[in-house]
A = this chain, B = another copy of it.
Amino acid sequence: MDVKFNNRDPVYIQVIRHFKEKIATGGYEPGQEIPSRRELANNLKINPNTAQRAYKEMEEEGLIFTEGNLPSRITNDPEVIRNVRKELILEAVHSFVASVQSINVPLEEALHLVKENYQRNKNEQEESL
């Protein structure tokens, strides 16, 4: 459990993002137990209320569920899990396309830059293992 926080976005938003990424990549199984609010707050050195805020939103989105006073769990609904990945990808694509089109970058140039950058990052990741 380790999250790199930036100073731009609210902490609870970044926590949600972290869980979504983990769910989308299969880092969490359906129904799997996640850390309690207090435990998460301890791990990430954040306030328990901030953890609660993140969990509450995730519950409202159907990403996690809570039974009684037990630690929350990842949803069992495979449809929801598939959608998490879809939404993250679509959001990234839309944002990127909107950006490059707003400055009239031709499609070919955009594709080329993505390809180049993707592979460079990939290499750097592999080298640091």
Contacts and interface: CB of A to CB of B under 8 A. Distances in A.
A16 B95 CA distance: 18
A43 to B, nearest CB: 19
A46 interface: no
Given A110-B114, A111-B114, A115-B111, A92 B88 contact: no
B113 A93 contact: yes
Given A88-B103, A92-B100, A102-B21, A118 B110 contact: yes
Contact of A97 (B21, B99, B114): B114
Contacts of A119: 107
Contacts of A93: 96, 110, 113-114, 117
Contact of A100 (B89, B94, B99, B101): B89
A25 interface: yes
A105 interface: yes
B118 A89 contact: no
Contact of A121 (B21, B97, B117, B121): B97
12 contacts: A24-B104, A89-B105, A91-B99, A92-B99, A92-B100, A95-B95, A95-B96, A96-B114, A97-B114, A97-B118, A107-B114, A107-B119
